[in-house]
Chains A and B, each alone.
Chain A
Amino acid sequence: MRNQLNEELDRLRHDILAMGSLVEESLRKALHALRTGDVALAKEVRAGDAEINALQLGIEDQAAMLIATQQPVAGDLRELVTVFKVTDNLERIGDHAAHLAKTARRLADDPYPLPLDRLERMAAAGVAMVHDAVEAYLRRDEALAREAAARDDEIDAEHKAFLREVLAYLAGRPDKAEQATKLIATSSFLERLGDHVTNLCEAVVFMLTGEHAELND
């Protein structure tokens, strides 16, 4: 019974997997562009963002249609409510990938003299978190959602350390203030990215348990 609802829910999950994969790919590309200065790759991230946004709107329309026509309750309803949070946070993560790609493009013209290991580690952690968060949603895996959210601490620690390093560098090279400001902004975007994955994980825990978990303390 409820074959139509089951099929539609499966289709939604498939679309969310597609959206999550695109966001993950954008982040990987942006990270690679940051490492290698590959400007063409950075531009691809921007193009991918439009596709991500289109997927988001399609998924949300479909979820609203199912709520209107299928009268879902209990677990079905919690999943459909969760879909909006999942897509909203994935879309914001995609935006942050675009910010990172923009930084990569700028640094290609005017390289920062110190290593950007911390930014790279933040972005790499972000990729893994997004992957696990979407996986947790699809596999209905509460433990995995909690694990993915917990990695936000790594990003936060790198962010704080990176700020200190950039400010220390800036003290000796005030002429690099503009570049330093952009790097700090980028690091802040990555820090926000971690928060969005945490929100996404909280939504998954809510979908599975009905409890409003606070995973970011």
Chain B
Amino acid sequence: MMSEAETAFSIRGLDLWYGKSQALKSVTADLPARSVTALIGPSGCGKSTFLRTLNRMNDLVGGVRIEGSVLYDGVDVLSPSTDVIDLRKRVGMVFQKPNPFPMSLYDNIAYGPRVHGVKDKARLDDVVESSLVRAALFDEVKDRLHESALGLSGGQQQRLCIARVLAVEPEVVLMDEPTSALDPISTAKIEALLDELKRDYTIVIVTHNMQQAGRVSDRTAFFLLGELVEYAATKELFFNPADERTENYISGRFG
């Protein structure tokens, strides 16, 4: 495991094209381990593309060409020889819309461990409970673990998805606008959860909600037109940004 101040991801000169259009332009950054990094910027700025590069989700998109390097804990993420299944186990992902599988809560969470070969009932019970506890959902659902996950509220579903990611014991959790479909109370619960999770996990979160970036993250990266314009401690970026484009964007004077 990596130590406290260590770098989780080391990204150097990352270029990415979708066909002829360049979505990331020479992005260089170090993302610290066990902290929350927020990615902000207007639609189409490259932040989600950048996030998906971190666990090779862009592999699923046709016509993508990538140059530069992304190292995770010494592993060359972009190398064709990298075991993508193993990478995605270590670097999990939570999406914008909660996407529980149409099965029970228990089976949703046990799904990953089962795929990775865990069959022992007692061990699966443990994983399900501890994952739900870590996702701050256990107390709300402990009496209905064998009911359909689709009966949960949106906010509960999203926490279930987080629990499902945690069940495969990742080191990193990538989140792509995880609260944009949730009400303020559910959003507050997820945000509080992030604060807990960052003790053990590296979190990278894309958000359109600037106040959320300010509240939950330790560092913030501002993307514009594929360029990483500014990347700094969140309190610095929101109080005294170095780049005028950052100031204009975060203060809502953009465009």
B238's closest neighbor in chain A, by CB? A73
B211, B247, B254, B255: which contacts A74 (Cβ < 8 A)? B247
Within 160-215 of B, Cβ neighbours of A (below 8 Å) are at: 210-211, 214
CB B51 to nearest CB in A, in angstroms, measures 23
A210 to B239 CA separation, bound complex (whole angstroms) = 8
A1 touches B252 (CB 8 A): yes
Summed over the interface, the residue pairs from A and B with CB atoms below 8 Å come to a total of: 35
A75 touches B247 (CB 8 A): yes
A76 to B239 CA separation, bound complex (whole angstroms) = 9
B214, B250, B255: which contacts A1 (Cβ < 8 A)? B255
B residues in contact with A210, CB < 8 Å: 239-240
A72 touches B251 (CB 8 A): yes
B239, B246, B253, B254: which contacts A77 (Cβ < 8 A)? B239
Specify which of A71, A72, A74 lies most central, judged by the most chain B CB atoms within 10 Å of its CB: A74
A74's closest neighbor in chain B, by CB? B247
B252's closest neighbor in chain A, by CB? A2
A76 touches B251 (CB 8 A): yes
| Contacts known (A73-B210, A73-B214, A75-B247); A1 close to B241, Cβ less than 8 A | no
B254 touches A73 (CB 8 A): no
A74 touches B252 (CB 8 A): no
A81's closest neighbor in chain B, by CB? B239
A residues in contact with B214, CB < 8 Å: 73
A73 to B236 CA separation, bound complex (whole angstroms) = 11
Is there a chain B Cβ closer than 8 Å to A78's Cβ? Answer: yes
CB A93 to nearest CB in B, in angstroms, measures 28
B255 touches A78 (CB 8 A): no
A2 to B247 CA separation, bound complex (whole angstroms) = 13
Residues 69-96 of chain A, each 1 if its beta carbon lies under 8 Å from chain B, else 0: 0011111111000000000000000000
B residues in contact with A76, CB < 8 Å: 251
A residues in contact with B210, CB < 8 Å: 71, 73
A1 to B214 CA separation, bound complex (whole angstroms) = 21
B250's closest neighbor in chain A, by CB? A73
B214's closest neighbor in chain A, by CB? A73
A1 touches B239 (CB 8 A): no
A74 to B247 CA separation, bound complex (whole angstroms) = 6
CB A77 to nearest CB in B, in angstroms, measures 7
| Contacts known (A71-B211, A73-B210, A73-B214); A2 close to B251, Cβ less than 8 A | yes
B residues in contact with A1, CB < 8 Å: 252-255
A72 to B210 CA separation, bound complex (whole angstroms) = 11
A2, A5, A71, A78: which contacts B239 (Cβ < 8 A)? A78
CB A203 to nearest CB in B, in angstroms, measures 15
14 contacting pairs across A/B (C-beta < 8 A): A1-B255, A2-B252, A2-B253, A73-B210, A73-B238, A73-B250, A73-B251, A74-B238, A74-B239, A74-B240, A74-B251, A75-B251, A209-B240, A210-B239
Other than the known A1-B252, A73-B238, A76-B251, what 4 A-B pairs have Cβ atoms closer than 8 Å? Answer: A71-B211, A78-B239, A209-B240, A210-B239
Query: Top 5 nearest A-B pairs by Cβ distance?
Result: A210-B240, A2-B252, A74-B247, A73-B238, A73-B250
Query: A interface vs B, CB < 8 Å?
Result: 1-2, 5, 71-78, 209-210
